[in-house]
Amino acid sequence: MRWFSALAIACSLAAQTPRSPEYDALQKRLARGWNTWDVHSVTAQVLLPEALTIRVGLKHNTSLNADAFLANALIGRQGESVEQVFPGPHTWNGSYTELQLLWREHKLLLQTAHDGEDLVMLVTPLASKSAVPPTLVFSAGILWNCPGTVAKAGGHIEFRNARREIPVYSTAKETASAAIPIATPFLAASFENPVGLSTGHPRSVEQIRMVVNRKRPSETGISQAIETVLGWDSIYEPSQSRVVSPVSRVWSVIWGGYVLFDWDTFFAASLAAVGDRDLAYADAIETLRECTPEGFVPNYARAGGWKSFDRSEPPVGAITVLRLYRQFHDAWLLRDAFLPLLGWNRWWAQHRDRGGYLVWGTDAGNRPSNPDDDSAGTLQGAKYESGLDNSPIYDDAPFDSQSHQMHLADVGLMSLYVADCDALAEIAKTLGKSVEEQELRARAERYRAALRTLWDEQTGIFLNKNLDTGKLNARISPTNFYPMLAKAAAPEQADRMVREHLLNRGEFWGEWVIPSISRSDSAFRDQDYWRGRVWGPMNYLVYLGLLNYDQPAARGQLAQRSLALFEKEWRQNGHVHENYNAITGQGDDVSDSDRFYHWGALLGLIDYLENAGRAHRTM
């Protein structure tokens, strides 16, 4: 794969830190072939390593807004007159993709498939209320300043670089195209009937349709849904020559090209493990490669080198990596991940310990902050570190403006940290690092003992503690169940938490579960972000905690109800939401729930894991 290296050099793609030979080979395997690699449009296909892109555009031709041209399309974009994309199947390697697009009264079906090394595309009009048919445009170009040329050659387009030549053909007769605002070669046609495109050699619409039908996945279960979600949300990120799965394309485009959030991208790794080991490893390792000079994985890392140098996010890295190792058994993954995980683990104890408890914080003086982010050093910055940006459990949290820490012993943080210590100790043991193993086990026991002091016998659950007053905070969220993940709860304590709180319809149970604050809390009715809505990662972490105890009925019910919530709008619109309304089960009811955010698929992953080894229910 010498040409992958040439691509990296030509496109000025420099990695942050050296890659191991195993990981470099993995990225080379991932970054090849045709796929929806370009973050800016789901209707574009890119061939790696050549960086040749073919984009599908649509020109509106009526007298009203006659100059309107749709060059790019994203899933879940919101606003007046924007395109609506209804995503269909997307295989891991891009061998088949399908979507429906509605824009300016025009609706189409776009299907793509691989025919050997060639790409075929079939675009079918589904409906149009316009008196004049739109113009369908296939344009070709080269992304990321990579070498090569594209040019019209008679009735087709030719791509050339030092390695190969690729012709591109359309099945339709070209139409007059002077008004189409594209600066690269293109093929345009009146869009009244199905139009096909193929590379390599000409194909008819029927020949393309045969390829598409042959490659379309037949599976319709939750594993295929997860494959589709990660397929659409995985991109090639050129600044660091990597394939990775940002939370969504909308978020990444807004943030300049990509944005990796800490726990979000670790969860993407868990999702990818359903069917693509390489992508799962890439999501985990790339999250760790964003570590700051202080040694912690930042809340976010975005295009342009901006990171949250003041704060981290919940530590779920070691449990993710250990689960990947237990599934795939590649020791090199542990070797690559161990040192950054260890540095991050030590950072929490060094920078977020207050009186033997762990608290959220924000270290304002580390590095210049993102000019668009003024939360460093503030209570809001500490809330962002929790990942629960506006959770009511922090409404009255005391904040020290000198140390920039919440004075709140946090059950969720301590539980996740103890689980991180336990998992990392197991990794150290596997790698033969006995000194580090002993260090981690000692740290786990120290904080597990502190966590156990937060048990409240009267209420039957672990509670956050105000470190200024010494009082326990009665407000509870799913994070109060996380001690089960840390194995800090005695069996009888876990049983009480499940019976009296998790399965209590007055608190956390119901048709749509698990709300991010108790139903009995005054903030539940807000249904605003972390104020009452259901979040996939919370359900997932509670489920992992239940696996540590004899709670098969609760696990099974949580899996069923989580899947039902995921399916509700997945079936209807192909949407997978950042969060969902805990009263109605809707995700489309608010503007601040991204309509295609990969961690929403954790709701389906719970059912997949619960039913591993059995036939998964179809959707």
- Sign of the alpha-carbon torsion through 563, 573, 248, 218: positive
Angle between helices 262-272 and 317-328 (to 10 degrees): 10
Kindly report, residue by residue over 450-493, the tens digit of the pLDDT. 999 999 999 999 999 999 999 999 999 999 999 999 999 999 99
Q: Give the contacts of 562 (CB within 8 A, at least 6 positions apart).
A: 513, 536, 539, 543, 602, 603, 604, 606, 607
Q: pLDDT category, 12, cuts 50, 70, 90?
A: very low
Q: What is the reported pLDDT for 7?
A: 36
pLDDT > 70 fraction of the chain, expressed in percent and rounded? 94
Q: Residue 52's closest CA among 249, 197, 253?
A: 197
Instruction: Answer whether residue 315 shows pLDDT above 70.
Output: yes
Q: What is the reported pLDDT for 127?
A: 79
Is 461 found in the same domain as 537? no
Instruction: Answer whether residue 13 shows pLDDT above 90.
Output: no
Kindly report, residue by residue over 210-258, the tens digit of the pLDDT. 999 999 998 889 999 999 999 999 999 999 999 999 999 999 999 999 9
Residue 329 to residues 126, 321, 340, 426, 457: CA-CA distances in angstroms?
Answer: 47, 11, 20, 13, 41
Kindly report, residue by residue over 194-220, the tens digit of the pLDDT. 999 999 999 999 999 999 999 999 888
Q: Residue 163's closest CA among 34, 379, 326, 7?
A: 7
Is 437 found in the same domain as 563? no
Cα 263–Cα 269–Cα 273 angle in degrees, nearest 5: 150
Q: What is the CATH number of the domain that holds 426?
A: 1.50.10.10
CA 450, CA 462: separation in Å to the nearest integer?
A: 11
Q: Residue 226's closest CA among 612, 615, 608?
A: 608
Q: Given its phi and psi angles, is residue 355 left (phi above 0), alpha (psi -120 to 50 degrees) or beta?
A: left
Is 439 found in the same domain as 506? no
Kindly report, residue by residue over 277-308, the tens digit of the pLDDT. 999 999 999 999 999 999 999 999 999 989 99
Q: Residue 576's closest CA among 250, 339, 252, 148?
A: 250
Q: pLDDT category, 154, cuts 50, 70, 90?
A: confident
Is residue 304 included in any domain, yes or no? Answer: no
Q: Residue 85's closest CA among 600, 566, 575?
A: 575
Is residue 345 included in any domain, yes or no? Answer: yes
Is 187 found in the same domain as 128? yes
- pTM of the full predicted structure? 0.95
Domains held by the chain: number: 3
Instruction: Answer whether residue 177 shows pLDDT above 90.
Output: no
Is residue 262 included in any domain, yes or no? Answer: no
Q: What is the reported pLDDT for 8?
A: 37
CA 595, CA 587: separation in Å to the nearest integer?
A: 7
Q: What is the CATH number of the domain that holds 127?
A: 2.70.98.110
Kindly provide the residue ranges of all beta strands, DSSP E only, lying in 20-143, ordered along the sequence: 33-35, 44-48, 52-59, 69-70, 84-90, 96-103, 106-115, 118-128, 135-142
Is residue 202 included in any domain, yes or no? Answer: yes
Q: pLDDT category, 66, cuts 50, 70, 90?
A: low
Domain end call among 476, 510, 536: 476
Instruction: Answer whether residue 11 shows pLDDT above 70.
Output: no
Is 504 found in the same domain as 426? no
Is 539 found in the same domain as 513? yes
Q: pLDDT category, 14, cuts 50, 70, 90?
A: very low
Q: Domain range spanning residue 599?
A: 490-612
Is residue 570 included in any domain, yes or no? Answer: yes
Is 551 found in the same domain as 438? no
Is 170 found in the same domain as 204? yes
Is residue 250 included in any domain, yes or no? Answer: no
Q: pLDDT category, 3, cuts 50, 70, 90?
A: very low
Contact by Cβ (8 Å): 416, 315 = yes
Q: Residue 589's closest CA among 606, 573, 604?
A: 573
Is 465 found in the same domain as 331? yes
Domain end call among 420, 448, 476: 476
Q: What is the reported pLDDT for 10?
A: 32
Q: Give the contacts of 500 (CB within 8 A, at least 6 positions apart).
A: 460, 461
User: For 543-562, what is the mean pLDDT?
Assistant: 98
Q: What is the reported pLDDT for 63?
A: 66
Q: Which residue has the higher pLDDT, 154 or 36?
A: 36
CA 416, CA 84: separation in Å to the nearest integer?
A: 38
Mean residue pLDDT of the chain comes to 93
Is 421 found in the same domain as 321? yes
Long-range CB contacts (< 8 A, 24+ apart) of 149-152?
150/52, 150/184, 150/185, 151/185, 152/185
CA 219, CA 211: separation in Å to the nearest integer?
A: 17
Q: Residue 82's closest CA among 591, 437, 425?
A: 591
Is residue 2 included in any domain, yes or no? Answer: no
Beta pairing partners, 576: 596
Is 173 found in the same domain as 40? yes
Is 203 found in the same domain as 61? yes
Q: What is the reported pLDDT for 16?
A: 60
User: For 558-578, what is the mean pLDDT?
Assistant: 95
Is residue 124 included in any domain, yes or no? Answer: yes
Lowest-confidence pick of 15-19, 43-47, 189-193, 544-548: 15-19
Q: Which residue has the higher pLDDT, 13 or 429?
A: 429
Domain end call among 152, 185, 215: 215
Instruction: Answer whether residue 6 shows pLDDT above 90.
Output: no
User: For 132-158, what is the mean pLDDT?
Assistant: 95
Q: Given its phi and psi angles, is residue 510 left (phi above 0), alpha (psi -120 to 50 degrees) or beta?
A: left
CA 40, CA 71: separation in Å to the nearest integer?
A: 10
Q: What is the reported pLDDT for 178?
A: 65
CA 466, CA 471: separation in Å to the nearest integer?
A: 5
